[in-house]
Amino acid sequence: MPTVSLAHELKPYKSLSNEELYERIATIKRELGDRLLILGHHYQQDEVVELADLRGDSYQLSQLAADSDDCRVIAFCGVHFMAETADILANRPEKLAERSGERVNVILPDMAAGCSMADMAAIEQIEDAWDELGEVIDTDDITPVTYINSAASLKAFVGRHGGIVCTSSNAKAALEWAFARRSRVMFFPDQHLGRNTSLGMDITNDQMPVWDPFASELGGNTEEALKQSKVILWKGHCSVHQMFRPEHVEMFREKHPGIKILVHPECPQDVFELADEYGSTGKIIQTVKNAPAGSKWAIGTELHLVNRLKQQHPEQEIHFLSPVVCMCATMYRIDLAHLAWSLENYRDGTPTNLIEVDDETAKWSLVALQRMLEVK
């Protein structure tokens, strides 16, 4: 009788020490060699970052997944939309043809690692909003732009409707791309990234109505406001970045003369406008790296990244721009236990937590993602 291998249960891994888990993951890395690629987002815990082969912001991680040649499995230490994006890009038709049809498996070590912002826009809500908008304005003249922090179904919607995906590092270029084609934009799901970027392009707040998917009609807007709009923003936000407040900026400036405020563009407008510098997580890291010794920073982004910057740059004075702890609880779900468990299951022929976007969604998402990769 053929033997059937049983999947490893997660529970026993939770009682192993970090040293033991680290050793097990290191062993799999040696065994699988170039066939395994561990990608890690900058918000991951230090012990996970240490084991990642490559690290980046959302744009860089998409590029790494798109360019991966030798690997056959990507363990994505990040959140669900990132793993979906990696699956779409690593398994696009030209890559599949190069590998004679062999797929790259994408593993998300904990399936509960989602993104609360991405969850604020469901595809049914986007489709309903689009149809309702069509009763007031010409949707053929709107370019839909989705932040990469969204489900693949939204990226596919955008691809089908002549739109583009953007990340925090190319949002301005993506909006320029969008306006070169049509006179209006619908931007989802992060109202703050959409607003902060548009304000830098001479678009004013009264040209940016916010669409509330729970409002009874027209997203809570008047027909007039929608007709005058340049950018229709979605009522979504990041629960981590909305914790930073203007009073935190004022407090740091008062207590630490000469300090510079460096924030992620997912922060609300009132904080963003007070900041000295802003950028994606990759840009934040680069900005600190390039600063002279003795520089003082208060940084408004996820806690794990700010703490790592503090450790890596003792020659600078780095503070977290909030008196309260704001960390991304879903990114934090990826720990060594989940990583070891999912990798051992993969190695032992009982793969688990595979992220595979269906062909139709992948096809249209790819259209919008390729535009994103071309626009910087």
Q: Which of 40, 48, 57, 152 binds ligand 13P (CB under 6 A)?
A: 57
Q: Which does 57 bind (CB under 5 to 8 A by kind): ligand 13P, ligand SF4, none?
A: ligand 13P
Please state, in angstroms and as integers, the Cα–Cα distance from residue 302 to each residue in 56, 122, 168, 173, following that order. Answer: 14, 25, 14, 24
What's the min distance (Å) between Cβ of 213 and ligand SF4? 18
Q: Could you write out the DSSP letters of every residue in 171-186?
A: HHHHHHHHHHH-SEEE
Binding to ligand 13P (CB under 6 A) within 307-336 occurs at none
Confirm or reject binding of residue 168 to ligand 13P (CB under 6 A).
Answer: yes
Binding to ligand SF4 (CB under 6 A) within 34-63 occurs at none
Per-position x/- string for 287-326, each x denoting binding to ligand SF4 as judged by CB under 6 A, each - no binding: ---------------x------------------------
Nearer to ligand SF4, 28 or 78 (CB): 78
Q: Which does 116 bind (CB under 5 to 8 A by kind): ligand 13P, ligand SF4, none?
A: ligand SF4
Dihedral over alpha carbons 342, 346, 348, 350 (to 10 degrees): 90
Residue for token pair 């000469």: 258
Confirm or reject binding of residue 238 to ligand SF4 (CB under 6 A).
Answer: yes
Nearer to ligand SF4, 32 or 213 (CB): 213
Q: Which of 32, 51, 79, 337 binds ligand SF4 (CB under 6 A)?
A: 79
At residue 234, the 3 state secondary structure works out as strand
Cβ partners under 8 Å of residue 58, min gap 6: 41, 82, 85, 148, 149, 167, 168, 169, 280
Q: Could you write out the DSSP letters of every residue in 94-151?
A: HHHHHTTTPPPEEE-S-TT---TTGGG--HHHHHHHHHHHTTTS-GGGEEEEEESSS-
At residue 217, the 3 state secondary structure works out as coil
Other Cβ atoms within 10 Å of 132 Cβ, number: 15
Nearer to ligand SF4, 61 or 328 (CB): 328
Rounded to whole angstroms, the Cα distance separating 40 from 57 reads 9
Q: Which does 239 bind (CB under 5 to 8 A by kind): ligand SF4, ligand 13P, none?
A: ligand SF4
The DSSP call for residue 166 is E
Confirm or reject binding of residue 116 to ligand SF4 (CB under 6 A).
Answer: yes
Q: Is the peptide bond before 189 cis (omega within 30 degrees of 0)?
A: yes
What's the min distance (Å) between Cβ of 4 and ligand SF4? 37
Cβ pair 196, 147 in contact under 8 A: no
Confirm or reject binding of residue 167 to ligand 13P (CB under 6 A).
Answer: yes
# residues near ligand SF4 by CB under 6 A: 12
Confirm or reject binding of residue 239 to ligand SF4 (CB under 6 A).
Answer: yes
Q: Which does 242 bind (CB under 5 to 8 A by kind): ligand 13P, ligand SF4, none?
A: none
Cβ pair 88, 365 in contact under 8 A: yes
What's the min distance (Å) between Cβ of 25 and ligand SF4? 23
Cβ partners under 8 Å of residue 370, min gap 6: none
Flag whether 265 is marked binding. yes
Per-position x/- string for 268-287, each x denoting binding to ligand 13P as judged by CB under 6 A, each - no binding: ------------xx------
Rounded to whole angstroms, the Cα distance separating 177 from 252 reads 37
Residue positions forming the annotated binding site for iminosuccinate: 41, 58, 147-149, 168, 264-266, 281
- Interacting residues with ligand 13P (CB under 6 A): 42, 57-59, 115, 149, 167-168, 238, 266, 280-281
